[in-house]
Each structure stands twice: as C-alpha cells, then as structure tokens.
C-alpha cells in the first residue's frame, strides 16, 4: 500500500509549481555563489598612511605596503585626524602613522650608534577599524610584519627561513573547507522543511483526517512522506558534487560512498526533526518558525563557520549533542583529508544514534488515534 | 436613488466567463438575495461591488458612487462578509472588534449603537478567542465587525454555510432589524428558508442572470433547481436486524468540558441514520470516536463488530469516511484520487482500474477522469468524495456535513447516491444542517449540549413533539440548549 502513497507524493511534487524548480535551482545557487562569498580569507584591506618622517626609509615602507597583495593603498593623509575621518566614512580600514624620526633612528641603529632616548625615538602607530575583529586583527598583524621586515633586513631573512607547510589544503583554499559544509546546509533545508511543510499543509486542508481514518499504518504514512524527500536530497547532493568538480575542480579525497552514507544519516535526522515539529504544529507559520529556530542553533553551534574549540567551554559542551557538528567533522575528514571509515567511525555512530532516536520519537508522536 | 445599480457587468478569468452582461438594481433599505449554484458568479459580483475586482465591461454604482473610480468612497460605506470566516482566529472577540473599528477610523464606543443588538448576544464571550467560538457565534461576530463603521450597504456572501438552523434563524432576525435602520443588504444563501426572507432575489446561473422576482416566483420558476421532486426511497431495502454501530454511555471530555455527555444508541445494518445537532453540540467529536480518530473518555461501543477503544485500526479497515473539510487531494486527478484511496485499502491495480471505469461511467463522469479535482465544481467534488469513501465497499460510511454550500438540486443528486449505497447494504451515518435532508433519513437523533435529546424516525419525532416538520422539532429542542458556547 505504501507504493500508492509514494506515488501520490511524487505526483504532488510534480504538480507543484515551485518544488521541481527549487530542486534544480537550489544546488546551483548554493554551489555557484556561496563558495565565493563564504570566504574568511582577509584580503584587499585598505590602508592610508600618514607620513611625518619623510625619509627614504619611510618611503620604502610605503612602497612595500603598496606591493603587498593583502593591502590596497588608499594614499597619503596629512594628519591622523584626517585619516580617522576616512575610516569613519568607510573609505579605509587601517591607518599607519610614521612618526618623525623613524628614519633617523634606523640609520643610527645601522651605524651602531647609541639609541636615542625614548621621546625622540620615531614610532610607528597602526590604527585598525576593528568593527570586524577578524579583519582588523589580521590586517594589523600583517601590517606590523611588513613594518618589521622593511626596517630590519635580518628579520626579513628570518621570516623567509621559517617554512610553513599546510597539511591537506596546500593552498589554504577556503572553498575546499566550505563545500562539505554547503552539502550539510543543502540537506538540512531540503530534508527538514519540505516534509514538515507537506504534513502541516495536509493538516490545514483536512486531507490528513481522511488518511487517518484509513488503515494506513503510521510507519507507511511517514515513510511515504520521507522517501521522496530523501531521494530529492540525494539528487541534490549529487548535483552539488558534480558542480564542485566542474566549477572548482574540487573532488572528494576519501571514498565517495562515505559522503553518501553521512548525508543519508543526516537526512534521516533532519527529516525526523521536521516530522516531529509538524506533529506538534497546527499551522504552517508555527512549523516554519520552530524549525527555523532549531536550524539556526544547530548550524551556528556546529563549527561550520567557526572552530568549535574557540567557543566558551559551556558552548563547546553543546557540540556533543549537536548532530550537525558530528556531520561536519566527519564530512570534512572524508572530503578534504581523505579519511576512511575508521577515521570517522565515532562520528557515524553518534550521528546514527541521534537519527534513530529522533525518528523513533517522530513516529511515536504521530497519532492516528488520540 | 437606488443603493446598488449594476449595468451590463461582464467579468472573465482567462477563458472562464464568471459573469456575462448582468444588470440589476437594489433599492435603498432592500434585502436582496443573489442566489445560484456554486460557480454561478456570485462571489465575483460581490468582489466587483466591493471594489476588490474590476469588471471587464459594464459599470456599477454603490450608494451613488462608481465602483471603478470612487473606490475610497465606496469602501467607507460598505460592509463585506466574505463566505469563509474572515476574522483573526487568535484574537479575542473584543480584540477583533477593536481592530476592525480602528481600520475604519472609528471606535467601538462610537459604533456601539449600530452593533448593540447583535453584539449583546456575544458580549459575554468578549474575552474568548474567535477561533474557539461555535459556527453561529463566529458569524454573529463577523457581522458585528462588518457593521462597526455603520455602513449603508452590507454584502453577505453565503454567511450561514455550515451554521445550524437555530443560529441561522437568529442571524436573519438580526438582518431584519438592520433593514429597519435603512441598511441595504445584498445576501446569497443556499438555504431556501433564507431565500424566502429576501424581498427580491436574482437567480444567477453560469454567469447569466436568469431572472429577478420575489422569492416565491423565482423558486416556482426554477423549481427544477430549487425544489426538486422528493426522492423515492424504496423501502424495499429491508433494514437488517444486527447492529452495525452500538454505543453505551459514551463520554468525551476535554478538561472539565464534556463535549459528548453520556450518549447511547445503535444503528442497524443498511440504515440511513441522521445525526443532527447545533454547532458545538458534539456531533463531530462523537463521530471522531466512532471512526477511530479519538478515544472515548468513558463508555463502550462497537462499530462493525470491533471495539472502539482497542480495535480502532480494525474499524478503519471496514468503514468509509467523508470529512467536513473537503477530503480529496485537489492537486491530483479524479482517477489518481480513486487509485490512491483504493490502493490504501489493499486493492490491486487491475481491480482498481476496472472499478474506476465502472464508477465513472455510472456517475456519467468518464470524460473527466483525468481532470484535476481542483477544477471541478463543489457539487461534483462532494459526489466524488462520497464515491471514493465507499469504493472499498465498507460496512458503514460516516458523512460529516457532506453537502455544505450547494443548491437543492445538487444535494438531491447526492442523496440519490446515498440511497444507492444503502441499497447495496452499506449503513450510512450522516450529519447535516439541512432539515429537508433529515427527513430523508430512516432514523434521526438530535444532539443538544452533548446529549441525545431525541431519537426515532422523522415521523415519530414530529408526533412526539407535536411539530409540523423536523425543522420545528430541531428548533424546539435546540432552543433549550444551555451550554455556554452557544
């Protein structure tokens, strides 16, 4: 009998003016646009310079800022106050002030003379707009590296002697980091909202009452609701993987079957969450808001955007009960690092446990007789 | 000057012509009926007159203002009650009223005189959420909201569909009071007793105006639609001895509220049992217990031989059900709906295909096999929903207000189907607000305040209560209701 129910769901999806388009357009938007914008690399920081020194040394410093590909030189400003105004108008991000005497001190140091007293020492001031803390902090530290290197050739030499080797993501390609996370978001949206909204709208039109007086078993009704959306989710994930390969040349480093395993388990979890919410909601509005609430919390606490270790301890503890966290950990291990099943076994088991618990709850809370 | 003037109005949606060259006029202070079957173009006419819709051709004035150009003036002067309940379910009675008063730039205090007569009846419940009111009370509240700005013209689009006879009578008594204050009323209704309370009626059919006259003249002229010959119920189908439904001392309470309060009755095989009651009397709750949708708080019972408390999934295999809310999938075709429900009851593909063709040819509906249900008129949807609910030959079929909102001729066709089913041995358990339908039943029960107050054949009840017809019996009993919800 489940055959007829599934057939009905597919017919309804096909007749729907909106869903088939969503299934095609959604992964394309997610994969073509999001990897470019969801990028935490700090680039194109705008710098204004206030030079009170006017020596060849200060000119060299300005020149090396101009050359750096992290900075965009926004020109010289006559005073710190005027430069501050530029920040306020959002025309620049960082001000570098070179105090009078900067060149002279360096010259004296180079000749081995005694260093002049504290007051005369030409100082460098870096003032960064830290509304976006990451951008301000990283910008200021890049800039101070440049300052040190330009003032002291030895330091420059030392810097080039330290070799950094980025494991698994040689070019620090942020897209490689984001694409598995985007898969997670796609599955989350497709598999939790759509089945939940489907059931609640049957409640609103009253057709669910008609189904409830038939001998359809709970399990077949719920499975018939979920299977079409799982298949849709898998289709969408496949489209995403193909697009990642076609557009960015990024492919999965580990066994692709593990990626599908993980997305299936995640899909089970989220669709059960959606059902659970729909069982307790009477209206579409209510269902959407409640699911939205859970999605945002699960997403932001999952380590998708920010490293979980840098969260405060109590927030970090919540990641133990966040299935999204296990998923993201595992899929990055497989996708980026090429891990095998042994590397993610712990996450897979945790994810399965959550998914089974949730689906059990969803089926129990669906009542054909109250 | 007439309150409403309509000249040669036409309106079409794509290829569908909703109204074609319709003209009529309504005098000041007149109660004018706009009647016709579902899909006749009544709602389009209301929407044009309320300036919500522009006509393709023709012109109309309301209270002297043109519906195309002077929309603001008109909106200030009319009250509109759309067919479906139009209030905010989550706001209380009072909050709804204040909201609508504010919308029209007035206050409840200022408008109190114009609504006093109506509002005094529901003022006791001013802190109750509108969604928790019974059908009749909702309509009274909606009427208050439409009256709050003292409109001079009132548009009522089937205001009493799904409302019980007593509440309907009260509603029309209020309209009669409004008329005395000089308010012009344009109303539509599927109920004949309400049509008779209009001064003149216009009969619309498929967008064409068929005639304007006094109610009696119109009902006489179009008697094939309004007054179809009564159905011959061949009593040849003998009612069996065994009981298909049997309940003893059934109680369902929600908190301290006893929606169903100790009812006992039985229904025999092949019987058509009418289950009547006012809005909020507990009919739907009782039906939900019988169909295995909810558990009784107390009491026992069996349906087709299975226990209602423990064997509800067994019951579901052997009954059919047609709910109050429309129950087919609108985005599936006729054949797909039949296939779905037949499949659920475990029929195989060959049987389904054969029986679908049989059914559709019996209904003369074969050419619409692949039409979407949403494109069908309401009367056909109801006939299909009923046919689908007995497709698997259940022992008993439950019909919860199956014929709401359609004209007498269509209802009569529906009842022919019910008699057909009964003739095949299917027991029919039906609730309705149409008292003429109650007379078609073999036996009826009347519920008041959660209890069954009367039970017997229609003739027995009329004799026992010394009333001329079931309508009067019902009114007599329902007036004794004391439950605070109505």
Q: Indicate the SS3 state at residue B238.
A: coil
Separation in Å, CA of B69 to nearest CA in chain A: 35
Q: Both tokens of residue A258?
A: 């593990």
Separation in Å, CA of A13 to nearest CA in chain B: 10
In the prediction, which pLDDT does A110 show? 67
Confidence of residue B484 (pLDDT cuts 50, 70, 90): very low
Q: Which helix (H) or strand (E) holds A46?
A: strand A45-51
Q: What is the mean pLDDT of chain A?
A: 84
Nearest to A209 among B313, B325, B343 (CB): B325
Q: Is the pLDDT of residue B408 over 60?
A: yes
Query: What's the CATH code, domain A45-161?
Result: 3.40.1710.10
Closest CA to B427 of B462, B381, B464, B389: B389
Cβ pair B293:A210 closer than 8 A: no
Closest CA to B74 of B83, B65, B86, B84: B65
In the prediction, which pLDDT does B485 show? 46
- Lowest-pLDDT range, A324-333, B47-56, B193-202, B228-237? B228-237
CATH 3.40.640.10 given to domain B4-226: no
- When pLDDT is averaged across residues A309-327 and rounded to a whole number, the result is 87
Domains B4-226 and B243-478 share a fold: yes
Whole-number Cα distances in Å, A124 to A91, A95, B229: 21, 10, 103
- When pLDDT is averaged across residues A42-52 and rounded to a whole number, the result is 84
- Which residues of chain A have a CB within 8 Å of the CB of B313? 215, 217, 368-369
Question: What are the boundaries of each domain within chain A?
Answer: 2-38+172-365, 45-161
Cβ pair A206:B326 closer than 8 A: yes
Q: How far apart are CA B38 and CA B40, in angstroms?
A: 6
Q: How far apart are CA A213 and CA B341, in angstroms?
A: 11
pLDDT digits (tens, 9 = 90+) for B163-202: 888 888 888 888 888 888 888 999 988 888 888 899 999 9
pLDDT digits (tens, 9 = 90+) for B65-97: 998 888 888 888 888 888 766 788 888 988 988
Q: What is the mean pLDDT of chain B?
A: 86
Confidence of residue B342 (pLDDT cuts 50, 70, 90): very high
Q: Both tokens of residue A263?
A: 């997305």
Separation in Å, CA of B37 to nearest CA in chain A: 23
Cβ pair B291:A11 closer than 8 A: no
CB atoms under 10 Å from CB of B355, counted, come to 16
Q: How far apart are CA B302 and CA B266, in angstroms?
A: 9
Nearest to B293 among A8, A15, A369 (CB): A369
Q: Is the pLDDT of residue B131 over 90?
A: no
Chain B CA closest to residue A3: B343
In the prediction, which pLDDT does A177 show? 79
pLDDT digits (tens, 9 = 90+) for B140-168: 888 888 888 888 899 998 888 778 888 88
Question: What are the boundaries of each domain within chain B?
Answer: 4-226, 243-478
- Which residues of chain B have a CB within 8 Å of the CB of A209? 293, 323, 325, 327
Q: How far apart are CA B118 and CA B141, in angstroms?
A: 8
CA B112 from centre of chain: 30
pTM above 0.95, yes or no: no
DSSP-derived secondary structure for A189-232: IIIIIHHHHHHHHHHHHTHHHHHHTS---HHHHHHHHHHHHHHH
In the prediction, which pLDDT does B227 show? 73
Torsion angle of alpha carbons B314, B316, B319, B320, nearest 10°?
A: -170
- The domain B243-478 belongs to what CATH superfamily? P-loop containing nucleotide triphosphate hydrolases (3.40.50.300)
Q: How far apart are CA B74 and CA B62, in angstroms?
A: 7
Task: Write out the E strands in B312-471.
Answer: 319-322, 396-400, 427-431, 443-448, 451-456
| Under 8 Å between Cβ of B426 and B395 | yes
């Amino acid at each position: 009998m489940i055959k007829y129910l599934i057939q009905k769901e597919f017919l309804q999806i096909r007749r729907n003016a909106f869903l088939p388009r969503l299934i095609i357009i959604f992964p394309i938007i997610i994969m073509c646009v999001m990897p470019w914008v969801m990028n935490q690399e700090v680039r194109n920081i705008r710098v204004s310079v206030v030079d009170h020194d006017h020596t060849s040394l200060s000119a060299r410093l300005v020149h090396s800022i101009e050359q750096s590909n992290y900075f965009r030189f926004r020109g010289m400003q006559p005073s710190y106050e005027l430069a501050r105004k530029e920040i306020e108008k959002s025309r620049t991000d960082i001000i570098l002030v070179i105090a009078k005497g900067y060149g002279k001190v360096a010259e004296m140091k180079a000749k081995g003379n005694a260093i002049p007293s504290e007051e005369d020492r030409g100082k460098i001031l870096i003032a960064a707009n830290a509304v976006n803390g990451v951008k301000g902090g990283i910008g200021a530290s890049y800039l101070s590296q440049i300052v040190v290197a330009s003032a002291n050739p030895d330091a420059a030499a030392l810097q080039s002697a330290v070799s950094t080797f980025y494991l698994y993501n040689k070019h620090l390609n942020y897209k490689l980091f984001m694409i598995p996370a985007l898969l997670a978001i796609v599955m989350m949206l497709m598999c939790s909202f759509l089945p939940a909204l489907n059931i609640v709208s049957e409640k609103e039109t009253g057709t669910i009452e008609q189904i409830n007086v038939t001998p359809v078993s709970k399990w077949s009704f719920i499975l018939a609701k979920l299977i079409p959306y799982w298949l849709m989710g898998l289709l969408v994930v496949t489209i995403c993987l193909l697009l990642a390969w076609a557009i960015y040349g990024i492919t999965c480093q580990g066994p692709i079957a593990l990626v599908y395993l993980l997305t299936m388990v995640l899909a089970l979890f989220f669709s059960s969450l959606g059902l659970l919410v729909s069982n307790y909601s009477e209206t579409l509005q209510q269902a959407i808001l409640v699911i939205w609430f859970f999605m945002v919390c699960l997403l932001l606490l999952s380590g998708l955007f920010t490293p979980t270790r840098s969260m405060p301890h109590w927030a970090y503890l919540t990641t133990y009960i966040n299935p999204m966290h296990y998923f993201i950990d595992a899929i990055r291990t497989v996708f980026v690092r090429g891990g095998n099943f042994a590397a993610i076994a712990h996450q897979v088991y945790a994810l399965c446990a959550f998914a089974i618990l949730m689906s059990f709850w969803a089926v129990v809370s669906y009542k054909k007789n109250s | 000057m007439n309150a409403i003037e309509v000249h040669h109005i036409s309106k079409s949606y794509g290829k569908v012509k909703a109204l074609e060259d319709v003209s009529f006029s309504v005098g000041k202070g007149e109660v004018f009926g706009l009647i016709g079957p579902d899909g006749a173009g009544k709602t389009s006419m209301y929407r044009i007159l309320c300036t919500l819709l522009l006509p393709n051709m023709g012109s109309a004035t309301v209270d002297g203002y043109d519906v195309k150009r002077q929309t603001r003036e008109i909106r200030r002067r009319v009250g509109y009650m759309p067919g479906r309940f139009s209030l905010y379910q989550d706001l209380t009675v009072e909050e709804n009223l204040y909201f609508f008063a504010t919308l029209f730039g007035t206050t409840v205090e200022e408008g109190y005189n114009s609504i006093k007569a109506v509002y005094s009846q529901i003022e006791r419940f001013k802190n109750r959420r509108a969604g928790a009111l019974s059908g009749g009370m909702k309509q009274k509240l909606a009427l208050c909201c439409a009256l709050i700005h003292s409109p001079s013209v009132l548009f009522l689009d089937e205001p009493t569909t799904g409302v019980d006879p007593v509440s309907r009578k009260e509603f029309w008594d209020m309209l009669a009071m409004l008329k005395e204050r000089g308010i012009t009323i344009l109303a539509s209704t599927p109920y004949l007793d309400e049509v008779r309370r209009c001064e003149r009626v216009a009969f619309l059919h498929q967008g064409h105006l068929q005639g304007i006259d006094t109610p009696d003249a119109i009902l006489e002229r179009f008697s094939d639609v309004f007054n179809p010959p009564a159905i011959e119920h061949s009593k040849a189908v003998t009612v069996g001895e065994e009981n298909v439904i049997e309940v003893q001392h059934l109680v369902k309470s929600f908190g301290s509220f006893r929606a169903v309060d100790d009812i006992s009755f039985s229904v025999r095989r092949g019987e058509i049992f009418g289950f009547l009651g006012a809005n909020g009397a507990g009919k739907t709750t009782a039906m939900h217990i019988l169909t295995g949708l909810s558990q009784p708080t107390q009491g026992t019972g069996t349906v087709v031989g299975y226990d209602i408390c423990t064997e509800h999934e067994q019951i579901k295999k052997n009954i059919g059900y047609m709910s109050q809310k429309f129950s087919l999938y609108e985005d599936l075709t006729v054949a797909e709906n039949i296939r779905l429900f037949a499949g659920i009851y475990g029929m195989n593909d060959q049987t389904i295909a054969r029986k679908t063709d049989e059914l559709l040819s019996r209904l003369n509906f074969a050419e619409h096999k692949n039409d979407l249900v949403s494109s069908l008129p309401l009367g056909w949807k109801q006939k299909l929903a009923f046919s689908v609910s007995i497709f698997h030959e259940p022992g008993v079929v439950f019909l919860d207000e199956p014929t709401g909102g359609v004209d007498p001729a269509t209802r009569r066709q529906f009842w022919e189907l019910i008699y057909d089913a009964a003739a095949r041995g299917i027991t029919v358990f039906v609730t309705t607000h149409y008292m003429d339908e109650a007379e078609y039943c073999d036996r009826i029960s009347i519920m008041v305040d959660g209890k069954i107050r009367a039970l017997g054949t229609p003739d027995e009840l009329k004799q026992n209560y010394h009333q001329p017809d079931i309508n009067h019996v019902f009114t007599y009993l329902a007036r004794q209701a004391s439950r605070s919800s109505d």
